[in-house]
Amino acid sequence: MGMKPEDLMGKNCYEVVHRTSYPINTCPHAMLLHDDQEHYSEIHEENLGGFFLITTTPLYDDDGNVMGSVHVARDITERKIIEEQLEQALEEKDLLMKEIHHRVKNNLMIMASLLNMQARYIEDEVARDIFKDSQSRAKTMALIHEKLYQSAELKKIDVQDYMESLARDIYHAYIKDPQKIQLNVKVEQHMLDINTAIPLGLILNEILTNSFKYAFPGDSNGIVNVKFSEKDNKEFLLEVSDDGIGLPLDLHEKKGGSLGMILIHSLTEQIKGEIEINSDHGTKICVKFQDLKYPPK
């Protein structure tokens, strides 16, 4: 403290520690004088040379009156410096991760744009549709990186915001007349791990793309419903249904002729989920899964 022991005698602690002529409100000793109870506080005091954890404990006389107090100061300056360094390192890591998500999103959008430009030179309609579907898949993955870039969470994503945006984008990409095809989206708000959310988004992309392209031939009218909810035992359920013409039976299985259906089955297996397909009245596809715990990398 820069003072000799004899210079401390007879002085109040705030005069020595805080170099003030009166107690400060945050001082644990001032609190003790107010209620006669033990107090502790973390303080930064330049006069002492850093950060300290201060504990003040009252001393009682035989009648139970406070006659003094014991102060213990633990120097935590080194710990605080390490904590600040760790916080700075974490902040830099978060900024780096956000920048990575931003760049991945930009690269995927460039890929989608290149596919779109290439498709303009393709006269074959089937081949052009393949390019359009690939473009949609790239945009689906780009969207999740955009949401992660905007989110405070870097490993989990708000599926409500993600699915609503994704469904809307796919709808506008494939439906030219909104008066004929109606889209209803009802998604509960949940945070899912990115390793689950990316395959889930691709599953939704494939199901909606199939519905918008094939469920309503010609000038048919119809409705497409998207629902996402949490059931018992932390099991999640994605339901996508339409009142269109339904899927042929040979496309229900994983080994059917549709690439989209093969992807739906493969991605469902990737998140260790179960899939049910019903084509009695239109098409209804249900995917049940749990948000898996992924080991840190």
pLDDT per position as a tens digit, 62-107:
998 888 889 898 899 999 889 888 888 888 887 777 787 778 888 8
Under 8 Å between Cβ of 146 and 112: no
Q: Phi/psi zone of residue 288: left (φ > 0), alpha (ψ -120 to 50 degrees), beta?
A: beta
- pTM (2 decimals)? 0.64
How far is Cα of residue 272 from the mean position of the Cα atoms in its chain?
21
Regions of the chain where pLDDT drops below 70: 152-154, 248-257, 294-297
Residue with tokens 């213990």: 72
Structure tokens at 119: 């498709």
Longest CA–CA separation in the chain, Å:
101
Question: Cα(140)–Cα(163) distance, rounded to whole angstroms?
Answer: 10
Question: Cα(228)–Cα(288) distance, rounded to whole angstroms?
Answer: 10
